[in-house]
Amino acid sequence: MNLTRALFVVLALSLTACSVDKSSMSIFLAKETCSCKFLVGRSTKDCKKDASLTLLFGDLTIDEENKSVTATAEDKSNPATARFVSEKFGCEVVL
Amino acid sequence: MLKTICLIITLVFANLAQADWPRRTPAQAGFEPRTFNSFVRKASAQHLTFKTDSLLVIKDGHLVFEGYYNNYHQDQRHALFSLGKTMINALYGIMEHQGLVHRDDLLSQYYPTGHSSVTLRHLLNMSSGIDWIEEDSKDLLASDPWFAFYSRESYRDMPAWVDARGQAHSANTKFNYSSGDSGLLVAAMRGAVAESDYANFAWKNLFRPLGMNTVAIEKDGSGFQALHGSGFASTRDIARLGLLYLSHGVVEGRQLWPADWVNFTATRAPAQSTPADPNDRNLQNNQAYGAQIWLNIKRAGDKARPYPELPSNALLGLGSRGQILMILPTEKLIMVRTATDSELSVTNRKDYRHGIFKALYYSLKRGGS
């Protein structure tokens, strides 16, 4: 497990190093956590657990009042924010 | 007074929407109970990289098993990922039946594409030839869907980001499983329906008639409904979609699809008439595929079907992290599994699916069906 995780993080870091967009990991964490929390309706604890299952990690700030999530991935990529739009259209990434 | 009437109407509709399926025990439904329990244990077990969130079995229109795990519950949606592509198939059947598109139309009739020879059929069959690697054997995280859904550049306009790619192959000559192809189907759908109808089209024509009241679709920065990767639905609603394939598109006596739509859906992509390339960089390219759904038949050159014990007319909707909609038309059997898997190995993921399919089908055979 630790080996898998380590491998994955190395892959992830090499990915962001090569990619044009330096914030994919943060966008991923922000969007997935926003959908988990505000569209699917899971607890913050479960959403953080789900996010950790993807083996990508970072700081997550969940704004319950404005239904938005800001994430800064552990590769120190640019932070990204996703916000809940509606029950029908879920969350969107703030561009 | 008005409030009371509204409340009553709401309650009546809520009841209709949640109308329970008639139930049968595994034995009544034709399964051998002991082996059915083994299937349930196998499919609901929580492993390190396989985490089942829900499991549901419907046989002959009766609910036989329904279970929720990891704090999920019945009315809750789950992320569908590529399982949403099956909904794209359903919507194209509906659009063709309504005369809005035909499968042999050019993509360019509905979307200002740079790929002038690509038809809707090519896209439905994942054979557009547009450059794309869904799951890269060389670098898993450099795979295209990662950028397609999680980079700002593509998020601004997902179909435009795909369309800017070159043709790696001539259209219809190479099967290449691609969320990019499905993304262009999403784009063409918007072009085929009136802009004023687009926001509600899928709900009005597919989800509501089927009683699928939990479906949500997230949009990209240009308002395209990204059903190719960003759809959500409850486990029961996923099953409702499956039932549409058993009824050949008939809902309450009304035909939603052309008569041959299921047959077309279950027909192997013509570009798969040549054997799979063992050195293909796209790890998703080696199994039989129909129109936005996986099949259980041989590709040219295959020794066996992907799931040899299962019937050859099985339809399989699959999504990232372990989402499964299994449809067995002859047996009238539907199995849905939602999950938060983190297994990286394509082989292990297939073996896991194979294991639970086999266990369920074995129980049915043991039950004498």
Residue that is written with structure tokens 């050195």 in the block? B279
Who among B147, B216, B217 is closest to A19 (CB)?
B147
Structure tokens at B247: 């009824």
> Does A88 contact B203 at a Cβ distance shorter than 8 Å?
yes
CB contact under 8 A, B219 and A24: no
Closest-CA residue to B188 (of B95, B60, B269, B302): B95
pLDDT for A21 equals 57
pLDDT for position A11: 45
pLDDT for A92: 98
The burial of B231, by beta-carbon neighbours within 10 Å (0-12 exposed, 13-18 middle, 19 or more buried), is given as buried
Closest CA to B116 of B131, B103, B128: B128
Neighbours of B175 (CB within 10 A): 29
Within 10 A of B18 (CB to CB), how many other CB atoms are there? 12
Nearest-neighbour CA in chain A from B216: distance (Å):
5
List the one residue out of B251, B255, B261 whose CA is nearest residue B207: B251
Kindly tell me if the per-residue pLDDT of A7 is higher than 70: no
- Residue B112: how many CB atoms within 10 A of its CB? 11
Q: Do B76 and A41 touch (CB under 8 A)?
A: yes
> CA-to-CA distance for B16 and B14, rounded, in angstroms?
5
Non-local (6+) Cβ contacts of B303 within 8 A are: none
For the four alpha carbons of B128, B130, B136 and B140, in that order, the dihedral sign comes to negative
Taking the Cβ of residue A9 and every Cβ of chain B, the question of whether any pair is shorter than 8 Å is answered with no
Which residues in chain A are closer than 8 Å to B235, comparing Cβ atoms? none
Neighbour tally for B5: CB within 10 Å: 9
CB < 8 Å to B156, chain A? 95
Q: Which of A12, A23, A54 is the closest to B152 by Cβ?
A: A23
Q: What is the residue-level pLDDT of chain B in tens, covering all 369 positions?
A: 455 554 454 444 444 444 689 999 999 999 999 999 999 999 999 999 999 999 999 999 999 999 999 999 999 999 999 999 999 999 999 999 999 999 999 999 999 999 999 999 999 999 999 999 999 988 876 789 989 999 999 999 999 999 999 999 999 999 999 999 999 999 999 999 999 999 999 999 999 999 999 999 999 999 999 999 999 999 999 999 999 999 999 999 999 999 999 999 999 999 999 898 889 999 999 899 999 999 999 998 899 999 999 999 999 999 999 999 999 999 999 999 999 999 999 999 999 999 999 999 999 999 987
Query: DSSP string of B311-322?
Result: -TT-EEEEEGGG
Helix (H) or strand (E) holding B250: strand B250-251
Nearest residue of A to residue B226, measured between CA atoms? A89
> Which chain A residue lies closest to B72 (C-alpha atoms)?
A42
Q: What are phi and psi of B234, to 5 degrees?
A: -70, 160
- CB of A75 within 8 A of CB of A21? no
A40 contacts on B by Cβ (under 8 Å): 76-79, 232
* In chain A, residues 12-41 whose CB comes closer than 8 Å to chain B: 12, 14-15, 18-21, 23-25, 27-28, 31-32, 35, 39-41
> Do residues B288 and B297 make contact, with C-beta atoms less than 8 angstroms apart?
yes
Residue at token pair 């920065």: B221
Q: Supply the ipTM of this predicted assembly.
A: 0.92
A55 has which bridge partners? Answer: none
Whether residue B241 contacts residue B215, with contact meaning beta carbons closer than 8 Å, is answered with no
Answer yes or no: do B340 and A95 touch at CB < 8 A: no
On whether any CB of chain B is under 8 Å from the CB of A3, the answer is no
pLDDT of amino acid B142: 75
d(CA B79, CA B235): 10
Query: Are the C-beta atoms of B88 and B182 separated by less than 8 Å?
Result: yes
How much is the pTM? Answer: 0.92
